[in-house]
Structure 1
Amino acid sequence: MNYIHHMENTLVKFANDQRVTPWHISLYLSLFQIWNSTHFKKEISIHRNELMHLSKIGSANTYSKCLKQLSDWKYIKYTPSKSRFTASKVHMYRFDTTRDTTSNTTPDTSCDTTSDTSSDNTSVPLVRPYTNNIKHIINYNKQYKTKEGEEKKSSPPLSKNKKDKSSFRKDELHSSDMSKKTSPTKRKKFVPPELKEVKTFFHENKSSYQVAEMFFNHFESNGWMVGGRSKMKNWKAAARNWISRNEQYQTQNQSPAQQRLHVNENKDYSEPL
């Protein structure tokens, strides 16, 4: 059994047979693997799970359909089992000594009855030549060289292209550096003020030193956090809000008599109380 000639002729038959799909080829190669492991016996026992795993066929329907079609097309001879306790049988037809591999898909089984130890040099299989033979490669290389020579004549020198690419790269780097220089500067990191600076600012905004100390102690204790969550960015803006809220609080907590002291009213003090 010359398995190399067998596989060459089988693959040629597959190429000429328009009915064959990749699932048929995968299943046949799995059967050939089992046939090879049994040293090319006339019949081999098959198991569906094993063949589906080897052929990577995930559907049991696809497996059964391809197996029956390979048997109908005379690539194999499939004998299904009528009992679940016995395995099905497959007879693999030999194609290692066939001469006609052009269009006929019927196998030549005349050598099936001969022993496997017979010499394989009696006949030489006719294999269809490939399209990418030596002459084709030589002609393709000649065409490629002529086209490449014409392109070199029409294209500018390579050194100039390299210079253009390098100059373009330098211009790109220069533009990126200029964009970095012209980009706005990052915001400065917040630095907590000193108590003296806070008192001066509160005094300039017509507030007392006591309110300034309250403001400073409050934010100094919580790490200068606004609302206890976000870091303070501008303490002067927070101080102005503090002053305005303090003034509103004082006006709301004043008694009616104190509020009337600030109201200019024309009173007649001659009237009795």
Structure 2
Amino acid sequence: MNYIRQLNAAFELFYSDDRLNPNHISLYMALFQEWNSSRFADTFFINRREMMNAAKIGSKTSYHRCVRDLDQWKYLAYFPSNNPFKGSKIRMTIFETADEPVGGHYRPGAGQLEVCRNPIEGQPADSYRPRERQLVVPSINNTKQENFIKGKRPAHQKEVIEFFKNRSCEKQEALTFFNHYQAVGWKMGNGSEILDWYSAAEKWILNLQNRRKNEQVSRWGTSSRSHWDHLRTTKNKDYDEPL
């Protein structure tokens, strides 16, 4: 039985079968996983509570209706059991596997995806129950990557010029910044190494803007005083004198 072809054929039937609702499909997939855990045996036993939980079906009535529908519509064969300790039996219908060898177990061949795991000796086969999942973390030195992104110093003065240009600053100011810190080995005034030249450039531009703003205020104040100087007089006039 080919695992991939089985699922593809099942999904094709789901697409064209208007009788199905989400509960039918969810239950089928839960049963398929249990079938997988039994290594695709001809028949396998199930527990109703476990199947309801796996399929996220909250009502026993809905569960029994769905499993009987799937049996009636030939997606599987359902053999109910009155023994709560034994469980009901299921035989899944095999689709589109005429070119595969018939057998009780799934035998993955070349190019097929092996779904079943070989159980450890003395342990039961894998169950459908979810297990703890590990988060795959790429083996990248995050510290080095962060330093690369930030950049302790620019690779070339063109990079600085482009940075200043994007902030509406002149090329000459970018070169002044670059030459200044290049001369001191990209260190701050207190001798500590610059960890992020972008931040240093932002601070440089901010200081430049504040300095220019102060110069404009100073010039405006001086020109205002000179504008009113011609109205001033040093002579004290005595308006009581006769004309």
Which protein has the bigger helix share?
1
Name which structure has the greater RCO, CA cutoff 8 Å, separation 6+.
2
Whose radius of gyration is greater, 1 or 2?
Answer: 1
Q: TM-score range by the shorter chain?
A: 0.3 to 0.5
Could you tell me the TM-score, scaled by structure 1's length?
0.37
Could you tell me the TM-score, scaled by structure 2's length?
0.41
